């Protein structure tokens, strides 16, 4: 499942731009989830959730039901942002965790495997010729959503949906290069692609490691190179 969330900023009183930023006693209101969008890889249907007033519990309960069905959750900076933010609001509302799932973080992949000038989702989309993020008009959209504008929230959900669509394109472009991808081959036959599960693989030569000799293959669907036991 591909996932993206948008959150509200926290509100705080400050005397100085620098001295009081870490003073939680001056905080007026905590951050919360404004909306989320998700879709299953390769499918068109989009799932969404939105905050009701400033209470994100119902929208998070809906997301938990979806996460409970997941084997893998894919997000840009998902390990450090989306998943942690979701779990923080889950525990705040006493929502139990969903069943365990693996994660794929496209930001981590970009940093580990490539040397892009920028690893931001928008810049990756533009560089790879896959599209770009929707223009929100800046922070004013967040201000309007927090103030209760339904029109602004509708726009933010469209923005969130577009991020998920762009994320899917970027992931599929990167997938052949991911050498630590969750093993999707176990869902298919013995000789299927590690990264996408396709059985359309061509064996090309042999290799040797400390465990012995193996066959090398390249997937004809996604381009991934992998190995298979003899």
Q: Greater confidence, 80 or 26?
A: 80
Q: Greater confidence, 169 or 210?
A: 169
Do 102 and 214 belong together in one domain?
A: no
Do 148 and 80 belong together in one domain?
A: yes
- Number of neighbouring beta carbons within 10 Å of residue 199: 14
Do 78 and 189 belong together in one domain?
A: no
Q: Which two tokens stand for residue 189?
A: 């036959």
Residues above pLDDT 70, as percent of the chain: 95
Q: Are 113 and 84 in contact (CB under 8 A)?
A: no
Looking at residues 174-194, what average pLDDT do you find?
A: 82
Do 199 and 156 belong together in one domain?
A: no
Q: How confident is the model at residue 15 (pLDDT cuts 50, 70, 90)?
A: confident
Q: Which of 41, 55, 32, 33 is nearest to 3 (CA)?
A: 41
Do 98 and 201 belong together in one domain?
A: no
Does the pLDDT at position 189 exceed 70?
Answer: no
Of the listed ranges 101-115, 118-132, 180-194, 207-221, the one predicted with least confidence:
180-194
Does the pLDDT at position 114 exceed 90?
Answer: yes
Looking at residues 156-164, what average pLDDT do you find?
A: 98
CATH classification of the domain holding 207:
2.20.25
Q: How, if at all, do strands 212-219 and 225-229 pair?
A: antiparallel
Q: Which two tokens stand for residue 17?
A: 């731009």
Last residue within a domain, chosen from 133, 155, 176? 176
Q: Are 229 and 216 in contact (CB under 8 A)?
A: no
Q: How confident is the model at residue 120 (pLDDT cuts 50, 70, 90)?
A: very high
Does the pLDDT at position 230 exceed 70?
Answer: no
What is the structure's pLDDT at 12?
Answer: 82
Do 171 and 202 belong together in one domain?
A: no
Do 50 and 137 belong together in one domain?
A: yes
Last residue within a domain, chosen from 176, 192, 217? 176
Do 66 and 104 belong together in one domain?
A: yes
Do 111 and 217 belong together in one domain?
A: no
Do 107 and 144 belong together in one domain?
A: yes
Residue 163 CB partners (closer than 8 Å, separation 6+):
4, 37, 76, 121, 133, 134
Do 16 and 106 belong together in one domain?
A: yes
Last residue within a domain, chosen from 141, 157, 176? 176
35-82 tens-digit pLDDT = 999 999 999 999 999 999 999 999 999 999 999 999 999 999 999 999
Does the pLDDT at position 187 exceed 80?
Answer: no
Q: How many domains does the chain have?
A: 2
Helix (H, G, I), strand (E, B) or coil at 181: coil
Does the pLDDT at position 188 exceed 80?
Answer: no
Residue owning tokens 């669907």: 221
What is the structure's pLDDT at 60?
Answer: 98
CATH classification of the domain holding 16:
3.30.420.10
H helices within 48-99, ranges in order? 57-67, 83-92
Query: For residue 25, what are the domain limits?
Result: 2-176
Distances in whole angstroms, Cα of residue 141 to Cα of each of 26, 34, 149, 168: 25, 12, 9, 24
Do 151 and 38 belong together in one domain?
A: yes
């Amino acid at each position: 499942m591909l996932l993206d969330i948008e959150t509200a900023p926290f509100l705080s009183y400050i005397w100085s731009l620098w001295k009081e930023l870490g003073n939680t006693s001056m905080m007026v209101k905590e951050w919360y989830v404004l909306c989320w969008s998700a879709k299953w890889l390769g499918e068109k249907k989009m799932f969404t959730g939105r905050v009701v007033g400033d209470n994100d519990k119902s929208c998070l309960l809906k997301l938990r039901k979806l996460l409970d069905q997941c084997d893998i959750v894919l997000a840009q900076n998902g390990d450090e942002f989306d998943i942690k933010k979701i779990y923080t609001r889950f525990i705040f509302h006493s929502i139990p965790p969903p069943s365990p799932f693996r994660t794929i973080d496209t930001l981590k992949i970009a940093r580990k495997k490539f040397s892009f000038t920028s690893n931001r989702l928008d810049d990756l989309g533009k560089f790879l010729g896959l599209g770009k993020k929707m223009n929100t008009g800046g922070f004013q959209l967040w201000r309007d959503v927090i103030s209760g504008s339904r029109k602004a929230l509708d726009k933010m959900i469209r923005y969130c949906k577009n991020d998920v669509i762009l994320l899917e394109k970027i992931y599929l472009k990167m997938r052949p290069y991911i050498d630590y991808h969750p093993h999707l081959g176990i869902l298919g036959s013995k000789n299927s692609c590690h990264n996408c599960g396709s059985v359309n693989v061509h064996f090309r030569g042999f290799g040797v490691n400390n465990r012995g000799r193996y066959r090398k293959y390249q997937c004809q669907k996604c381009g991934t190179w992998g190995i298979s036991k003899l």
